[in-house]
Amino acid sequence: MARKILVIGSPGTGKSTSIENLDPKTTFVICADRKGLPLKGWKNNYKTIKKENGKLDLENTNYYETADTSVIISLLKAISSSKPETKVIVIDTITAVMENEYISRIKEKGYEKFSDIALDTFSLLTAPEELNLREDLTVVIFAHSEDNYDSNQVLRTSFKVVGGKLIGQNIIPEARFNNVLYTEVRMEDNTPKYYFLTQNNGSNTCRTLKDLFTELRIPNDLNYVIQTIEDYENAN
C-alpha cells in the first residue's frame, strides 16, 4: 500500500508551494484547482503531453488538470502500474473536486448528490489502500480548512466539508491518515514565513506519528517531510 499524507490549510498558506523541492522527474501533480503551480518556471518542469490522437501521453506527462474523481482514480491506477519512476503523487486540492461536483449538480433536488459527493471524497481519501497502489508511492492530498464551533462553543479548525454534512459527521477524513499537517503563516521581520504544524494544538485535527518530528513547526517542504517519514519507517 502506498504511503499517504493529508495537508490542510486556507488558500495562500503554502500548500502548493510546498512541492518546490520535490524532483519533477519523480513527481506527478494532479491539479484539481486547474490554476497552475505557484512556482517560477513551473511549466518547464511540469508538463501535460498529448499523443497525435489526442490521448494523454502518460509516459511523458507529470502534470494533469482535472477535478473528475473517476479520472483521478484512473490516473492513480495508471501511474502506480505504468510509471515506476514516479514516487510522489500530489492531488491539489480534494476541496476543488468536491466543489466541482457540488456546483455541477447544484440544481438537482434531493440528497442523492450529497451522498455521491461523500462517496467520491471517501474513494479518494482511501485510494492508496483500496487501489493497492505500490508501496514506494507517496500520495499527498491537499485540502482547504474551515472553522466551526463545536457543541461546547469552542472554535475548531478541520477539513473543509463541501455540500452537506455526510463528510465530517459520518466520515472523518483526518482519521484515515497517520500524518495530517496544517499550514501556518507567521510574520517574521515583516516577512511572511510558511510552515507546517506537526501536532494538534487542541483546536485542530493535526497529527503525525509519535516521535516523527521533534518540532511543532517545520518548513513547508514536502521533500523534507517525505524523506523524514522514510527515515522513520526504516529506522532500527
Q: How much of the chain is helix, strand and coil, in % rounded to 5?
A: 30, 25, 45
Q: Reply yes or no on whether the pLDDT at 23 is more than 80.
A: yes
CB 98 within 8 A of CB 163: yes
On the question of pLDDT at 224 being above 90, the answer is: yes
CA dist., res. 176 & res. 14, Å (int): 23
Backbone angles phi, psi at 60, to 5 degrees: -110, 10
- How does pLDDT run across 200-219, given as a tens digit for each residue? 988 899 999 999 999 999 99
Quick one: CA torsion of 82, 27, 9, 103, rounded to 10 degrees?
-50
> What pLDDT was estimated at residue 118?
87
Q: 3-233 in CATH: which number?
A: 3.40.50
Residue 31 phi, psi (nearest 5): -100, 95
State the average pLDDT over residues 42-69.
96
Q: For the purposes of burial, counting CB atoms within 10 Å of the CB of 217, is it exposed (0-12), middle (13-18) or buried (19 or more)?
A: middle
Q: C-alpha cell of 196?
A: 507546517
Going by pLDDT thresholds of 50, 70 and 90, the confidence category of residue 11 is: very high
DSSP-assigned beta bridge partners for residue 167: 171
> pTM for the full model?
0.94
Average pLDDT, the chain: 93
**Which of 123, 118, 116, 124 lies closest to 140 in space, CA to CA?**
124
Percent of the chain with pLDDT over 70: 97
If one counts every other C-beta atom within 10 angstroms of the C-beta of residue 157, the result is 18
Mean pLDDT throughout 70-83? Answer: 97
Rounded CA-CA distance 15/110 in Å is 34
Kindly report which listed range (10-19, 59-68, 78-87, 116-125) carries the lowest average pLDDT score.
116-125
Give the span between the Cα atoms of 124 and 120, in whole angstroms: 6
CA distances from 98 to 56, 70, 87, 91, 94 (A): 24, 13, 25, 13, 6
Q: How confident is the model at residue 84 (pLDDT cuts 50, 70, 90)?
A: very high
Q: Helix crossing, 69-82 with 94-104: angle to 10°?
A: 140
Domain boundaries, the chain: 3-233
How far is residue 223's CA from residue 141's CA, in Å, rounded to a whole number? 14
State the DSSP code for 213.
-
